[in-house]
Amino acid sequence: MTRATARAHPNIALVKYWGKRDEAQMLPAAGSMSMTLDAFATTTTVEVDGTLTEDAFSLGGAEQTGVALDRTTRFLDVVRSLAGDGRRARVRSHNEAPTAAGLASSASGFAALALAAAAAYGLDLDERALSRLARRGSGSATRSVIPGYAVWHAGTDDASSYAEGIEAPDLRLVIVTVDGSPKSVSSRRAMRLTAATSPFYEAWVSSTEQSLTEMVRACADGDVPRIGALTESHALRMHAVIATSTPPVRYLAPRSIEVFDAAVRLREAGVTAWATADAGPNVCVLTTPAEAEAVAAAVAEHGEVRIVGPGPGAHLLAEHLP
């Protein structure tokens, strides 16, 4: 096959990834755990074309150059070397995430690209191998290959750093978009800065491994309050270690903190609500399916809300993007 199309969704980490031990192989400093979402998919078509002298990459119909094209080409180079096929490719990609919500993600992007490119270049990869391949594009993409809940094992080399599915209770995330503007510092750059300059980085890495072990146990036990408590505390630890970089980086806005406070008040009222946030100001509130509507109504004053749940892993489609 010389043309293939794949679809993948972003994920929200409950135990966060922040920092690499090896940039070339994209090995994380610690493991992480996430929910792959049922919304905001990326669909990507890869067409291998022996007549091209360079790769081409369009996103939402707009031809990409510079960094975006370079990152795609570097990723396709990994696929080409695995396939032993030097031909160039045309990549067309479409994001369903509203760009203003800051949810368009490198996780769904590289998970979809990994599967579409692997299929287009004739590679037959199992889930683990696909997850390892997606990792080379973006760390968080490692987990978006997997449906539902995924643990990314940090590993010590290319073969041992992959994600796999775990059982966990059915949960919902209420996404609160408090600010739709693009983030000030990219995750990749800020991660490097944290690792190089924060005096608390080593403690962050070792405590993350501990949090992951506890999270996996809480998921197996179906212990929702424990999953929630670990999620919120781990997110706050991540933002704390990021803020102790030099120069400091702060992703949370005053309105983000208001949502964290709203989650505390909801819990005091007996509602399941635990907050988390990635490298930006928007906050996700973890809750149960039965309580999701009530939680969404309670936090709607802080921003636009959207309820999401566990979704599918990366998969091939029969239809291709035009």
Q: Which stretch binds ligand 2P0 (CB under 6 A): 11-19, 56-64, 201-209, 265-273?
A: 11-19
If you search the block for the tokens 């300059």, which residue do you land on?
Answer: 197
Site for ligand 2P0 in 140-179 (CB under 6 A): 140
Scanning 12-20, 62-70, 156-164, 261-269 for contacts with ligand 2P0 by CB under 6 A, the matching segment is 12-20
The one segment of 10-18, 200-208, 252-260, 304-312 that binds ligand 2P0 by CB under 6 A: 10-18
> Do the Cβ atoms of 127 and 164 come closer than 8 Å?
yes
Q: What is the DSSP letter of 101?
A: G
The residue (of 116 and 277) whose beta carbon lies closer to ligand 2P0 is 277
Strand 88-95 to 56-59 pairing: parallel
Q: Which residues fall within 8 angstroms of residue 215, CB to CB, at 6 or more apart?
A: 14, 15, 33, 227, 230, 231, 234
Decide: is 30 part of the binding site for ligand 2P0 (CB under 6 A). Answer: no
272 binds ligand 2P0 (CB under 6 A): no
Which residue in the shown chain puts its C-beta closest to ligand 2P0?
139
Q: Which of 69, 278, 296, 310 binds ligand 2P0 (CB under 6 A)?
A: 278
208 forms part of the interface with ligand 2P0 (CB under 6 A): no
Judged by CB under 6 A, does residue 72 bind ligand 2P0?
no
DSSP state of 199: T
Do residues 251 and 280 lie in contact, with contact meaning Cβ atoms separated by under 8 Å? Answer: yes
Asked whether position 187 contacts ligand 2P0 by CB under 6 A, the answer is: yes
Residue 13 found at the interface with ligand 2P0 (CB under 6 A): yes
Residue indicated by tokens 């993409």: 141
Hey, which residues between 73 and 112 contact ligand 2P0 (CB under 6 A)? 106
Contacts 24+ apart (CB under 8 A), 239-243: 239/277, 240/200, 241/18, 241/194, 241/198, 241/200, 241/201, 241/203, 241/204, 242/18, 242/190, 242/194, 242/198, 242/279
Give the footprint of ligand 2P0 on this chain (CB under 6 A): 13, 16-18, 32, 106, 138-140, 187-188, 278-279
